[in-house]
Every structure is written in C-alpha cells, then in structure tokens.
Amino acid sequence: MKILSQYVALCFLISLVACSNESNQIYEKRTKKIFAHVIQDSEFAITENNFRITNRLHIGEAIQKRGNANFPQNEVILFCNLTLVEEMLIIEPLYINYCPYKITATEVGKKIIIGTRLLPEKTGNKKMDKIAKKINNILRSVVDYAASEDPFLLEQN
C-alpha cells in the first residue's frame, strides 16, 4: 500500500510539472546596486512606460518592524495602464488575474534580485498573444532598467 501511495504521489507531481505552462514564467535580473536605487529606478521605468503605480508592499520593512531586524529588504511595486488592461480584458476577461502588474525587489546577500511575472504568449489567440508580447516587453524593460547601471537603457527600447 505504501508503494502504491508513493507511486500515486509521484504521478501527481509529474502531471503538475507536465501541465505547468508559461503563465508562471518569472523574468529576473540581478544587480549589485543599492536597494533604494533599484526601487527608484523601477518606479522611474514604470512611469516612463505610461503606467501608474497603484501600491507598494514594503514586506521586508514590515517584517523588520515585527521584530526580525535582520530580515532582508523585499518590496513589491504594483502598477497598471488602463488602456492596455482594457485592450487585454476585451480579448480575454479572465486575464484580470494578471492585474495589476508587479515588479519585485529582493535582497539576497549582497545582491538585489528584480523580477516580474510574465503573461503567457502562446494562448492560441493571436490578438491575446500580441498584447501579451507587448506587455511582457515592457515588463522586461522595467526589470532590465532597474538592474542596469546604464541610465540611458530606456531610450534603446
């Protein structure tokens, strides 16, 4: 019976991995920049791409205030562009689950990891794939700029 339950668990795990799709794709970059500069550069790149910052989650700071003074810095920046969201939701209303978009910054040792979750680009719907590629390009450019030492990176995109 134990072998059967282990087999079932293994099959379930394999099916989960096999069924995973690109909607869980995370795009990340690492940098040695100061955390505050990463946040400032993220905010700048977000607004330069005509997005509005809707909220900030200061997770690391909140955990530090709860008593874990050595907890690393972690922040989530939430943002939106209603024109792009409208276009996306007309095509696929369930993509509301991707809103708002987010950029994360996480302190890991002496580095900062900047990341974002990308939208699936191979949905079988050409219109949705096109808007997802457009949004993903913007999300990648924000992460790239936040990680870069090059202040002119945005002008190249």
pLDDT digits (tens, 9 = 90+) for 63-116: 999 999 999 999 999 999 999 999 999 999 999 999 999 999 999 999 999 999
Residue pLDDT, tens place only, 2-13: 453 443 343 333
- Per the domain annotation, does 34 fall within a domain? yes
Q: What is the mean pLDDT of the chain?
A: 86
- Per the domain annotation, does 66 fall within a domain? yes
Pairing, β 74-80 against β 101-108: antiparallel
Whether 19 has a pLDDT exceeding 80, the answer reads no
The Cα–Cα gap between 16 and 10 comes to 10
Structural domain boundaries enclosing 109: 25-149
Name which of 26, 23, 21 is nearest 114 in CA terms: 26
- Per the domain annotation, does 124 fall within a domain? yes
Residue with structure tokens 């007309």? 90
pLDDT: is 79 or 21 the higher one?
A: 79
Q: How many domains does the chain have?
A: 1
- Per the domain annotation, does 154 fall within a domain? no
Q: Tell me the CATH number at 100.
A: 3.30.310.70
The Cα–Cα gap between 157 and 85 comes to 21
- Per the domain annotation, does 89 fall within a domain? yes
